[in-house]
Amino acid sequence: MYIGVDYYPEQWPRTQWDKDIQLMKTLGINVVRMAEFGWSLMETEEGCYDFSLFDDVMDRFDRAGMAVVLGTPTATPPPWMVEAYPEIQPVDKNGRTVSIGARRHYTVNSRTYQGKTRQIVEAMGRHFRHHPALIGWQVDNEYGHEASDRSYGEEDARAFRQWLERKYGTLENVNKRWGTVFWSQVYTSWEQIPVPLPVYQEHNPSLLLDFDRFCADAYDIYNQLQVDALRTWIPDSQFITHNFVYSGLALDQKKMAENLDFISFDNYPVWGGLAEPIPPAATARQLDLCRGTKQETGYWVMEELSGAQGWSQIGYLPRPGHLKLWTYQAISRGAEAIVYFRWRAARFGTEQFCHGILDHDGVPRRKFDETKEVIQSLETVGDRWITAEVTADIGFYHDPENEWAWKIQPQSDQFDYAQEALRFYEPAFAWNVPVDMIREDADISRYRLIIVPLYFLTKPGFQEKLEYYVRSGGTVVFTYRTGVKDADNIVTEKTLPGSLAALVGAEIHEYESIRENNYAVIEGVKGAVAGEKAEAHVWCDYLVPDTAETLAVYRDGWVDERAAITKNSVGEGKVYYIGCGVNTDFLYTLYRDMFEDAGVSIMETPKNVEMVRREGKSENFISIMNHDTEKAGEITLPPGTWTEPATGEYFQERMVLPALGSMLLVQHCEN
Amino acid sequence: MYIGVDYYPEQWPRTQWDKDIQLMKTLGINVVRMAEFGWSLMETEEGCYDFSLFDDVMDRFDRAGMAVVLGTPTATPPPWMVEAYPEIQPVDKNGRTVSIGARRHYTVNSRTYQGKTRQIVEAMGRHFRHHPALIGWQVDNEYGHEASDRSYGEEDARAFRQWLERKYGTLENVNKRWGTVFWSQVYTSWEQIPVPLPVYQEHNPSLLLDFDRFCADAYDIYNQLQVDALRTWIPDSQFITHNFVYSGLALDQKKMAENLDFISFDNYPVWGGLAEPIPPAATARQLDLCRGTKQETGYWVMEELSGAQGWSQIGYLPRPGHLKLWTYQAISRGAEAIVYFRWRAARFGTEQFCHGILDHDGVPRRKFDETKEVIQSLETVGDRWITAEVTADIGFYHDPENEWAWKIQPQSDQFDYAQEALRFYEPAFAWNVPVDMIREDADISRYRLIIVPLYFLTKPGFQEKLEYYVRSGGTVVFTYRTGVKDADNIVTEKTLPGSLAALVGAEIHEYESIRENNYAVIEGVKGAVAGEKAEAHVWCDYLVPDTAETLAVYRDGWVDERAAITKNSVGEGKVYYIGCGVNTDFLYTLYRDMFEDAGVSIMETPKNVEMVRREGKSENFISIMNHDTEKAGEITLPPGTWTEPATGEYFQERMVLPALGSMLLVQHCEN
Amino acid sequence: MYIGVDYYPEQWPRTQWDKDIQLMKTLGINVVRMAEFGWSLMETEEGCYDFSLFDDVMDRFDRAGMAVVLGTPTATPPPWMVEAYPEIQPVDKNGRTVSIGARRHYTVNSRTYQGKTRQIVEAMGRHFRHHPALIGWQVDNEYGHEASDRSYGEEDARAFRQWLERKYGTLENVNKRWGTVFWSQVYTSWEQIPVPLPVYQEHNPSLLLDFDRFCADAYDIYNQLQVDALRTWIPDSQFITHNFVYSGLALDQKKMAENLDFISFDNYPVWGGLAEPIPPAATARQLDLCRGTKQETGYWVMEELSGAQGWSQIGYLPRPGHLKLWTYQAISRGAEAIVYFRWRAARFGTEQFCHGILDHDGVPRRKFDETKEVIQSLETVGDRWITAEVTADIGFYHDPENEWAWKIQPQSDQFDYAQEALRFYEPAFAWNVPVDMIREDADISRYRLIIVPLYFLTKPGFQEKLEYYVRSGGTVVFTYRTGVKDADNIVTEKTLPGSLAALVGAEIHEYESIRENNYAVIEGVKGAVAGEKAEAHVWCDYLVPDTAETLAVYRDGWVDERAAITKNSVGEGKVYYIGCGVNTDFLYTLYRDMFEDAGVSIMETPKNVEMVRREGKSENFISIMNHDTEKAGEITLPPGTWTEPATGEYFQERMVLPALGSMLLVQHCEN
Distinct helix (H) and strand (E) counts, chain C: 18, 27
A617 & A585 share domain:
no
- Look over chain A and give the mean of its residue pLDDT values, rounded to a whole number: 97
Q: Residue B143: helix, strand or coil by DSSP?
A: coil
Do the bridges between strand A580-582 and strand A533-545 make them parallel or antiparallel, or are there none, so unpaired? Answer: antiparallel
Burial state string for C511-537 with b = 16 or more CB within 10 A and e = fewer than 16: bbbbbeebbbebbbbebbbeebebbbb
| pLDDT digits 0-9 by tens, A414-423 | 999 999 999 9
Own/partner pairs for B226-229, CB < 8 Å, 24+ apart?
B226/B72, B226/B74, B226/B117, B226/B121, B226/B139, B226/B140, B227/B139, B227/B259, B227/B260, B229/B117, B229/B118, B229/B121, B229/B122, B229/B125
Distance from CA of B157 to the nearest CA of C (A): 13
Closest CA in chain A for residue B348:
A490
Residue C94 sits in a domain whose CATH number is 3.20.20.80
C142 is catalytic: yes
Instruction: Tally the domains of chain C.
Output: 2
Average of pLDDT values for A289-318? Answer: 96
Cα C629 to its chain centre, rounded Å, is 25
Distance from CA of A314 to the nearest CA of C (A): 5
Report the share of chain B in percent with pLDDT over 70.
100
Neighbours of B87 (CB within 10 A): 16
Report the share of chain B in percent with pLDDT over 90.
97
Average of pLDDT values for B305-312? Answer: 97
pLDDT band at C671 (very low <50, low <70, confident <90, very high): low
Instruction: Evaluate whether residue B385 is within a structural domain.
Output: no
Average of pLDDT values for B653-666? Answer: 97
Cα C604 to its chain centre, rounded Å, is 26
Q: Which of C390, C221, C385, C227 is nearest to C295 (CA)?
A: C390
| pLDDT digits 0-9 by tens, B210-263 | 999 999 999 999 999 999 999 999 999 999 999 999 988 999 999 999 999 999
Which chains form contacts with chain A, at 3 or more CB pairs under 8 Å? B, C
Question: Can you list the alpha helix ranges (DSSP code H) found in A169-204?
Answer: 171-178
CA distance C213 to C160: 10
- Contact in structure between B193 and B161 (CB atoms under 8 Å): yes
Residue A670 has pLDDT above 70, yes or no: no
Q: Which of B368, B386, B371, B364 is nearest to B291 (CA)?
A: B386
Residue A245 has pLDDT above 70, yes or no: yes
| pLDDT digits 0-9 by tens, B323-377 | 999 999 999 999 999 999 999 999 999 999 999 999 999 999 999 999 999 999 9
A78 & A109 share domain:
yes
Look at C95 and A96 and tell me if their CB atoms are within 8 Å: yes
Instruction: Evaluate whether residue B162 is within a structural domain.
Output: no
Which chains form contacts with chain B, at 3 or more CB pairs under 8 Å? A, C
Instruction: Evaluate whether residue C153 is within a structural domain.
Output: yes
In sequence order, the 6+-apart residues with CB closer than 8 A to the CB of B627 are B280, B325, B608, B609, B610, B660
> Which of B598, B626, B643 is the endpoint of a domain?
B598
CA distance A138 to A34: 9
A436 & A572 share domain:
yes
| pLDDT digits 0-9 by tens, A525-548 | 999 999 999 999 999 999 999 999
B389 is catalytic: no
A224 & A163 share domain:
yes
Distance from CA of A96 to the nearest CA of C (A): 8
CA distance C479 to C467: 16
Q: Which of B13, B130, B122 is nearest to B62 (CA)?
A: B130
Nearest 5°: the CA angle C417, C423, C429 is 125
B399 & B493 share domain:
yes
pLDDT band at B670 (very low <50, low <70, confident <90, very high): low
Instruction: Evaluate whether residue C387 is within a structural domain.
Output: no
Cα–Cα distances (Å) from B173 to A227, B657, C38, C399, in that order, read: 70, 61, 19, 50
CA distance B399 to B325: 28
B416 & B544 share domain:
yes
Distance from CA of B276 to the nearest CA of A (A): 9
B584 & B659 share domain:
no
| pLDDT digits 0-9 by tens, C446-466 | 999 999 999 999 999 999 999
- Contact in structure between B571 and B577 (CB atoms under 8 Å): no
- Contact in structure between B330 and B287 (CB atoms under 8 Å): yes
Cis-peptide, bond into residue B497, ω within 30° of zero: yes
Residue C314 has its nearest CB partner, among B197, B513, B516, at B513
DSSP A633-656: EEEEEEEEEEEETTTTEEEEEEEE
> Which of A248, A282, A308 is the endpoint of a domain?
A248
The catalytic position among A303, A336, A420, A467 is A303
CA distance B313 to B431: 36
Total residues belonging to chain B: 671
- Look over chain B and give the mean of its residue pLDDT values, rounded to a whole number: 97
Residue B96 with chain A: CB contacts under 8 Å: 94-95, 198
Residue A637 sits in a domain whose CATH number is 2.60.40.1180
Residue A431 has pLDDT above 80, yes or no: yes
Residue C512 with chain A: CB contacts under 8 Å: 308, 316-317
DSSP state of C451: E
Look at C37 and B182 and tell me if their CB atoms are within 8 Å: yes
**β-pair partners for C389:** C615
State residue C670's pLDDT score.
66
Average of pLDDT values for A394-401? Answer: 97
Average of pLDDT values for C31-54? Answer: 98
- Look over chain C and give the mean of its residue pLDDT values, rounded to a whole number: 97
Q: Which of B164, B53, B46, B147 is nearest to B103 (CA)?
A: B147
- Contact in structure between B507 and B485 (CB atoms under 8 Å): no
CA distance C205 to A475: 55
Residue B578 sits in a domain whose CATH number is 3.40.50.880
Instruction: Evaluate whether residue A50 is within a structural domain.
Output: yes
State residue A671's pLDDT score.
53
| pLDDT digits 0-9 by tens, C569-582 | 999 999 999 999 99
Return the number of CB contacts < 8 Å for B and C: 185
Do the bridges between strand B573-578 and strand B633-644 make them parallel or antiparallel, or are there none, so unpaired? Answer: unpaired
B562 & B620 share domain:
no
pLDDT band at A13 (very low <50, low <70, confident <90, very high): very high
User: Domain of A126?
Assistant: 35-248
A130 & A167 share domain:
yes
Query: Any binding-site annotation on B103?
Result: yes
Instruction: Evaluate whether residue A269 is within a structural domain.
Output: no
> Which of A598, A632, A651 is the endpoint of a domain?
A598
Instruction: Evaluate whether residue B46 is within a structural domain.
Output: no
A630 & A521 share domain:
no
Residue A148 with chain C: CB contacts under 8 Å: 200
Residue C509 with chain A: CB contacts under 8 Å: 365-366
A517 & A588 share domain:
yes
Which H or E run contains C216?
Answer: helix C205-231
pTM of the full structure: 0.97
Look at A198 and B44 and tell me if their CB atoms are within 8 Å: no
State residue C187's pLDDT score.
98
Q: Is the ipTM of this complex over 0.90?
A: yes
N-terminal to C-terminal alpha carbon distance within chain C: 24
Instruction: Evaluate whether residue B560 is within a structural domain.
Output: yes
CA distance C201 to B100: 29
Distance from CA of A6 to the nearest CA of C (A): 14
Closest CA in chain C for residue A275:
C515
Average of pLDDT values for C117-145? Answer: 98
A102 & A227 share domain:
yes
Average of pLDDT values for A592-611? Answer: 97
Look at B412 and C314 and tell me if their CB atoms are within 8 Å: yes
pLDDT band at B456 (very low <50, low <70, confident <90, very high): very high
| Reduced 3-state DSSP string for A420-431 | HHHHHHHHHHHC
Residue B104 has its nearest CB partner, among A181, A185, A200, at A200
CA distance C505 to A377: 37
Residue C525 has pLDDT above 80, yes or no: yes
Look at C411 and A77 and tell me if their CB atoms are within 8 Å: no
pLDDT band at B669 (very low <50, low <70, confident <90, very high): confident
State residue B671's pLDDT score.
52
Residue A361 with chain C: CB contacts under 8 Å: 492-496
Average of pLDDT values for B274-279? Answer: 95
